[in-house]
Amino acid sequence: MRIVFMGTPAFAVPSLRALAGAHDVGLVLTRPDAVRGRGKRLEPSAVKAAATELGIDVLETKRITDDVMAVIRAAEPDVIVVAAFGCILPDAVLEAAPLGCVNVHASSLPRWRGAAPIQRAILSGDARAGVSIMRVVHDLDAGAYCRQADVEVGEKSCPQVMGELAELGARELLTALDQMADGTAVWTDQDESKVTYAKKIEKAEMLLDPAATALDNRRRVQTSLDAAPARMAVAGKGVRVLAARVAEEGVAQGEVLVRHGRVIAGCADGAIELLRVKPDGKREMEASAWAAGLHQSQLAWEHA
């Protein structure tokens, strides 16, 4: 099967690699090089790096112009596969391949259509997070799906859940394409009454809050990514919280207890223990190492 692949972040790479191992990927579209992560230099997207390694032609674009459409058509794809491309697709793309255009979407549709499905699942306390192989249609993430699978969330970090779903999505994608090719794929329309939307996570949502529950604050830490990190201020100094858990100790709301190398922050109904942190202007470290520099046994904390 000849494929045009569209994707940008690390989530899309397992799907690209799976396709390259089983089919003929003639062209990869991805977002242009950009300043990514914590560096100040231009970096290629994760998909561009993988495609270059695999020896696949890459076209970088922010939108689908007439010239881009000409390149897509020239590749003569049997199917177009999308995985977190980050660009609105015009109807011309959806009609450019005989088998249509399918998307590896990181949710159990119809729950969490939109930009940040994995983060919204974790932040909302969903027990499981899923992936769907769906047809791309004109409306946002509204197409029928033919494959779905999910993983347990538990206390896994967002990058952990993303990694698991990326691998799971790649496997489901290969099965879906086989079924599409032999005509056995069964497409299920989404139940519109169960639709929820996963809007982009804003930085303000990730700020830890003494007035919130311990569980809500822990979920903010779980959901945290570089673009919107979980932060707090201890004794007026900002710190990013990289890992935390709900603590058994009782600590007053807004207070921080430092004891035997442990750092425990009081919330509305209990407390969270900070496990790994990055104080502003310093390196990442275990909270126990950070605790050695906190010279008071009891401190106050607030929004960063």
Binding site listing for (6S)-5,6,7,8-tetrahydrofolate: 107-110
Tell me the pairing of strands 271-279 and 237-247.
Answer: antiparallel
Show binding-site residues.
107-110
CA separation for the pair 245, 202 (Å, rounded): 22
What are φ and ψ of residue 222, in 5° steps?
A: -60, -40
Q: Could you give the angle at which helices 46-54 and 13-22 cross, rounded to 10 degrees?
A: 20
CA separation for the pair 267, 251 (Å, rounded): 8
Interior angle at CA 131, CA 47 and CA 88, nearest 5: 55
Q: Could you give the angle at which helices 158-182 and 13-22 cross, rounded to 10 degrees?
A: 30
Residue 124, C-beta contacts closer than 8 angstroms, at least 6 positions apart? none
How remote is the C-alpha of 301 from its chain's centroid? Answer: 29
Interior angle at CA 272, CA 269 and CA 274, nearest 5: 165
